[in-house]
Chain A
Amino acid sequence: MNCPIEHPESAGLLLDYCGRKLAPDTTAMLERHMGSCARCQAFRDGQMALWRSLDAWESMPVSAGFDRRLYGRLHGPHGDGPRTSWWSRFFGSPLSGPAFLQPAVPLALACVIVLAGLLVNDRPDGAVAGAPRDAVEAEQVETVLEDFDMLSQLRWQPRDATGAASRYTPFEAMPEARS
């Protein structure tokens, strides 16, 4: 093959090689060339070292009040920001699935269930079918916490192109922005 360094039109080839983005056959062809081309070898070693150096510049944390400031500006005197209705708070985006399955809301639901359980157990007769009150409470709390744990780890996957029903999927499996 022609040496990519000497041909500007194939300038991206060596970068893609260093980024491991080339197809296996192109990779093999380039590696054969590199075996006898000191310039391409030097490029590869230098580029890999450069990327390691650039990795030192990590991302910084985003200020805690960023969203509050943004929504403040959107809703400000001249703003026409997105009005968050009770409907969208509860159901979220049509593509994201119900908002009530996102982490904060299950916590509230869990609290309601625990409270309801305590109220039921506070009946005047104090009877809870065949189990001591403390044991039942502990079991309820444990179950609720387990449910909460499970719910907080799950997200809805968006509807597919045919509009088929959504299904649960881990957050990491959601579609990426770039292909």
Chain B
Amino acid sequence: MTETTTSSRTAMIEVIKVSKSYPPNVTALADISVSIASGEVFFLIGRSGAGKTTLLKLLSNMDKPSTGLIEVAGMNIHQVTGNKLAKLRQKVGMAYQDFRLLTERTVAENIAISMEVSYKKPQIIRSRVRSLLAQLQLEDKHDILTGDLSRGEQQRVALARAVANSPTLILVDEPTGNLDATSTAQVMELLVRCSNSGATIVIATHDETLYRHSTHRVMRLHNGKLASLTRGNEI
């Protein structure tokens, strides 16, 4: 995977003193500051309810921080609107914890959506979908409605959709939660390939096999606070 030196590279993500609270008085994130370099693979860990999903939602501009500032590719993403925001979102792929697949549509259609919105040519979309399905060993599911898939399969389709448009930032929420060892390996291989082609990747997980022997940085959240920030092999 990528080099561990991050200081020399430009930051893809700057999180500065970010807090997020939900009414009435849930503090999901408290005073988080972190900088993630362009091309870095970054892990986000912590117990269920620690605030991992909340942070990813803020990074993907699904939600606004209560206080603090988030910059992605040098832009304050919560001030971007209109077509600029659309362009920004096309460059950020997110695999949601709850998948957000269109269950009445086929696997191929679901993956294609992220490319269609940036007006990719149909033949390019088709070949990209096939190649992704091959990498995740889902070739035979091409025309199946995603509602009919197992959760493990849905999870991989959600990931395929997130990376399909070759985004520069990939946010992945619990990518291996429903997967066996082989599928997990395939998913990680796919992410490594994205990383090798330059994408920045943030992975929220509580599967420690994903990062334990790596040199990637791992940030642990606890009750919305930053508990530790170390390399995977130092934990």
Task: Decide whether A and B assemble into one complex.
Answer: no
